[in-house]
Chain A
Amino acid sequence: MRKLLLPAVLALFSSIYCQGQTGVVDSLENIIATTGSDSIRIAAMLKLGVYYRSRNFDTARYFYQRALEESQHHGYARGMVAAYAGAGVTYGMEGEYPQAIIHFEKALAKARESNIPDLVFNQYNSLGIVYKRLGDYPRSYEWYNKAMALADSLQDPLKIADNQFSIAVLHDMMDEPDKALTLLRESLKNYTKAGRPVMSNIYNSIGVILAKANNYDSALHYYFIALEMDRKVDKKEAELIVMNNIGNAYRKTKRYKEAEKILLDALHEAEKVRLNQAKADILYNLSKTYVAQRQTDLALEYALKMLDLSKSLGSFLQIGEAYEVLSHIFEQKQDNTTALKYYKDFKAYQDSLFNQNKTKEFKTQQTMFDVYKKDQELAKQELELTYLNEKALLDKKWKFMLKASSALLLFTLLLLYQRYRHRLRHNELLKSKNAVIVSQKQHIEEMNETLEKRMLRAQMNPHFIFNSLSSIQHFVTVNDKASALKYLTKFSNLLRSVLETSTGVQVTLAEEIELIKIYLELESLRFDNEFKYEIKVDQRLDIYNLEIPLLLIQPYIENAILHGLLPSAKEDKLLNVTFEATDNAMRVSIEDNGIGRKAAQVIKEKKGYKKQSLGMSVTQKRLEMLEKNKDTTAAVTVADLYRDNGEPEGTRIIINIPQPINGES
């Protein structure tokens, strides 16, 4: 049984017949060349694609490609979708279904990405059609259902109607007339709802399905509606098809006269507009109608006409049908040989038709395989895409790690800041602690001072100690027992004083004077009484209570002897040491009549002394420390003494030692 609905389906792929001829093309190309609007230019290209795809696939694809590039350049999504879809339709018309699928899927992806629902809907439908053409009904059904779901959600009755019609056709092909019929009726309702003039072929299709179910009266009802509509819009081909269907329905219900009438009308019309395909079908029906009425001659006449026409059309199906009718006619004529002959021809064409179908089926299988391969490729691409996604995900992970570490850093900084704040808060506590530390530090400094004094004393002594010991050695060598013993005793006393005062660095003035006396005696002995000395102490000084640092004055005396008196060639070398009381201090003066500072300095320089003698620098330091303790000046002044004639007459050193008033210490 022929699927009568097929032409309607094919309409999607067949060109929308442009009445415009070359003029239209020229004007479109003119628009492309002159318009300043990108969208208009793209629309013109798409229109040219539509125009050319029923004439030249390559030209059509060229315009779609241009439209695509232009759209991509301007980021015009609708243009891109339309260009892909147009190319898909072109491939579909060419029978290049795998390419058609690819292009529709590209169009679909772009439409989805740009979120244009009506374009998404169109691609669903197109894919449904392609798979239907491939005979893959389940997948076709899948796409149509997607389209249906979208149309439902869009609440667009026109789209729903279109979709229902498409699915109905699919059901018809799958030999499910009931489902097809239901959908067609609903489709009809929705077209009405959409306020769209209903396509006549829907009524026709309903009629065909009803006729298949032998419901000819209902079928005729729909046929006549379709016929009326077709006549209004002057769609000759559709009109003829409907008329032929009506004739067929009349014949089946044995209303031969009505059948004959409408079929002859249709034949007349068909001959007028030279619609040979339809004419062949009409001749077939007419012939059959006459066979039914046993008007064999007329039947034969139209059957032969049909055979000729079908042969010229090369339509195997119709040639076969013609032979079948002829076989019937000769059966009626009792001419069994001819009947058998035509029957054999009929069978042969049926076989060839069968073979043709087989070939077609094989081709379909081939196409299916191509589609399968394409699918595989797509799956592979999808896999690659997944891989890329994974990579992106990995990148994201890295980014996350980075973020996490940054967060950690921030957190650490926050903690540090908190600690800093904490510290600030505890600053006052620290301050009070600091005060304690400061006082402790002072204490330590005092202790250090004591220690330093001890150290300084230790540095001061060695020269004197070794010189003293050498002196004793001398007395021994010269067998001066008395002097040796005396020197030894005095040196012991001095040493003992120094060592015993190691705990307290201050000594009473009396003690210091005693030590100086011992020292002077020792030096006098050592230098064989080369100089004389005198110590004077002010009666006002409380020598037993006043305290001064141990051996503070001794280095100045030593200096006076070694550098002032000993180099002198004088006979009466004299050293005077005087302790005097002043208002709140004590004054010590050490006076010698030696060579004077200048001459002494010359000798020192000659000896290569670079610095002040160790003893002197040590004493200077000790005096400075004294100042620190007493808040008064501990001054050392040096006066060069001269004779009346201007010659140097020794040196006087005055040391001011700050002291509290008697008894207050």
Chain B
Amino acid sequence: MNLRVVIVEDEKHSRETLKNLLMEFCENIDIVGFGGTVSEAVETIRKSFPDLVFMDIELQTGTGFDVLKELENLNFEVIFTTAFEHYAIKAIKFSSIDYLLKPIDIEELQNAVEKARERKDIKERTQQLQLLMKNIGNIPSDKKKICLATSGGLEFINLQDIIFCEADGSYTNFYIAPDKRLTVSKNLKEYEYLLVDHNFMRVHNSYLINLFEVKRFVKSDGGYILMNNEKQVSISQNKREEFLERMTML
């Protein structure tokens, strides 16, 4: 069964580019509609029941999020496109939703399409998009959730439940209260970028910790941090001062 695709792009050239790339480099695709403005996009999606929507973040009359907001059923995959690093990228990443930067890389496009095609759990998609819509708005850290894509599926985790993250090659291990461990196929730097604004701190090359989950700072043995789950986390010598400073600011 072919994948039903809708392209939401306000620039004619961009629309055509994406269409041509999909036709040429991706198999089993049906492009079922286009949208240049917010209202056009909403209408097209409503009547064409896409499996996948390519969504330009910036539209002439609004944003891609405006389109999603107006839709009742978020039962499709979304891949965002943008020409330049956008303020909303963080929110998108929080929801673990794919996005493509223009000019579009063919390989990235193929991967994103295949990923979308393989996903069967419709409920998961909806959850992801709902999480995105929530995270676009300004909500406090302790109410915020992050979507972690693991080999077993998507996990929606409260930020405050994350005790610390540990680098594991190009993967990252999440230690989640009370005693859960998740491995995600993104490196620690990616999560540092996402979580640093939410009272997380990279205390060591291999560790990103939730400062609220620190139980004790032990000065002996070169210094280490004891987390609330009784696990010890190393701290770099040059991070000690900043760490103590941030702990007092909490």
Contact = CB atoms under 8 A, between A and B. Distances in A.
Contacts of B17: 470, 473-474, 477-478
Interface in B31-82: 58-63, 66
B60 A566 contact: yes
B13 A528 contact: yes
Given A463-B83, A527-B12, A470 B103 contact: yes
A603 B58 CA distance: 11
A477 B21 contact: yes
B102 A466 contact: yes
B58 A607 contact: yes
Contact of B61 (A471, A478, A603): A603
A606 B66 contact: yes
Contacts of B60: 566-567, 603
B83 A467 contact: yes
Contact of A607 (B13, B63, B104): B63
Nearest to A467: B83
A469 interface: yes
Interface string A337-356: 00000000000000000000
Interface in B1-49: 11-14, 16-17, 20-21, 24
Interface in B189-247: none
Nearest to A472: B103
A252 interface: no
A462 interface: yes
Contacts of B84: 462-463, 466
Interface in B132-172: none
A472 B61 CA distance: 25
Interface residues of B, number: 22
A594 to B, nearest CB: 12
Contacts of B102: 466-467, 469-470, 473
Nearest to B85: A462
A470 B20 contact: no
Interface residues of A, number: 21
A473 B81 CA distance: 15
B61 A526 contact: no
A291 B104 CA distance: 169
Contacts of A466: 83-84, 101-103
Contact of B14 (A474, A566, A606): A474
Contacts of B59: 607
Interface in A459-518: 462-463, 466-467, 469-474, 477-478
A366 B17 CA distance: 136
Counting chain A CB atoms within 10 Å of each CB, the highest count among B11, B13, B21, B104 belongs to B13
Contacts of A477: 16-17, 20-21, 24
Interface in A510-552: 526-528
Contacts of A472: 103
A526 B13 contact: yes
A527 B62 contact: no
Nearest to A605: B62
Contacts of B104: 473
Interface in A605-640: 606-608
A470 B17 CA distance: 8
Nearest to B58: A607
A478 B14 CA distance: 11
Interface in A433-477: 462-463, 466-467, 469-474, 477
Contacts of A567: 60-61
A470 B14 contact: yes
Contacts of A608: 63
Contacts of A462: 84
B112 to A, nearest CB: 17
A615 to B, nearest CB: 12
Counting chain A CB atoms within 10 Å of each CB, the highest count among B11, B24, B61 belongs to B11
B12 to A, nearest CB: 5
A567 B10 CA distance: 10
A603 B103 CA distance: 25
A474 B16 contact: yes
A526 B104 CA distance: 16
B103 A478 contact: no
Nearest to B17: A474
Contacts of B14: 470, 474
A463 B66 CA distance: 22
Contacts of B12: 527-528
Counting chain A CB atoms within 10 Å of each CB, the highest count among B21, B60, B63 belongs to B60
A469 B103 contact: yes
Contacts of A528: 12-13
Instruction: Report the 5 A-B pairs with minimum CB-CB distance, sorted nearest first.
Output: A477-B20, A474-B13, A473-B103, A474-B17, A470-B102
11 contacts: A466-B83, A467-B102, A473-B17, A473-B102, A473-B103, A474-B16, A477-B24, A478-B17, A528-B13, A607-B59, A607-B62
Interface of A: 462-463, 466-467, 469-474, 477-478, 526-528, 566-567, 603, 606-608
Given A470-B13, A470-B102, A477-B21, 4 more contacts: A470-B17, A473-B17, A477-B16, A527-B12
Interface of B: 11-14, 16-17, 20-21, 24, 58-63, 66, 83-84, 101-104
